[in-house]
């Protein structure tokens, strides 16, 4: 079987034939093509490496945060504050928290110092007022004090007076144990343990 070669198609009369590409132009075109390929592959690959490193570092930070015992300086997240119903008023300082979870009970421990108006706002958000605070009523138990290192009256502890009350709610709503230290009359220190039963 023989194959016949097709005749070469002529250039249309309105098109000029392309001049032969010179070496300089060819090298420039190849360099540009190579640069585009490097950018298309290299930039996304670089982002992937950076993202992977950030993700790994974030995981390490979370691991440190959750494997720590005792309080972590800073504000609990909005989700934690909403879930455990612990409103931290503005302004507040010396804010620290710690969360524990198990199959039986989840707890959020929070401490903060605020103003007298901040204390009233905190109590009002819980649906309580100062009349419910009882002097020298340390409602936060020894187990919870050991977890946080809070000391209400031992050697080295902040002087009182201390006031406390328990804000009980039906499950699944959390119950809050609250202790208020009023040794600084302008800026009371508040300690809260909020327990939620899943």
Q: Annotate 96-111 with DSSP letters as a single string.
A: EEEEEE-SS-EEEEEE
**pLDDT at 63 (0 to 100):** 46
SS3 content of the chain, % helix, strand, coil (to 5): 35, 20, 40
The confidence score (pLDDT) of residue 41 equals 85
pLDDT on residue 58: 58
Tokens of 59: 């995981």
Name which of 168, 160, 170 is nearest 194 in CA terms: 168
pLDDT at 65: 46
3-state secondary structure of 78: helix
Cis peptide preceding 127, ω within 30 of 0? no
Question: Which is nearest to 130 in space by CA: 164, 84, 177, 169?
Answer: 164
What is the mean pLDDT, run by run of 10 residues, along the chain of 198 residues?
59 62 81 85 75 63 51 92 92 92 89 94 92 91 89 71 91 91 92 90
Cα–Cα dist 176/24, whole Å: 79
Are the C-beta atoms of 139 and 165 separated by less than 8 Å? Answer: yes
The phi, psi pair for 91, rounded to 5°, reads -85, 150
Do the Cβ atoms of 176 and 193 come closer than 8 Å? yes
């Amino acid at each position: 079987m023989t194959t016949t070669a097709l005749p070469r198609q002529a250039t249309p009369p309105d098109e000029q034939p392309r001049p032969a590409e010179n070496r300089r132009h060819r090298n420039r075109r190849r360099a540009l093509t190579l640069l585009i390929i490097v950018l298309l592959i290299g930039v996304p690959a670089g982002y992937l490496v950076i993202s992977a490193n950030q993700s790994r570092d974030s995981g390490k930070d979370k691991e440190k945060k959750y494997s720590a015992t005792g309080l972590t300086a800073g504000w609990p997240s909005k989700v934690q504050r909403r879930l455990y119903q612990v409103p931290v008023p503005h302004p507040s300082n010396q804010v620290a928290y710690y969360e524990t979870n198990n199959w039986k009970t989840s707890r959020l421990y929070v401490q903060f110092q605020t103003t007298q108006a901040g204390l009233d706002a905190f109590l009002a958000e819980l649906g309580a007022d100062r009349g419910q605070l009882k002097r020298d009523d340390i409602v936060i138990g020894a187990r919870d004090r050991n977890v946080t290192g809070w000391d209400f009256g031992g050697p080295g502890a902040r002087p009182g007076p201390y006031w406390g009350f328990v804000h009980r709610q039906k499950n699944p709503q959390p119950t809050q144990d609250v202790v208020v230290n009023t040794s600084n009359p302008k800026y009371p220190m508040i300690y809260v343990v909020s327990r939620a039963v899943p």
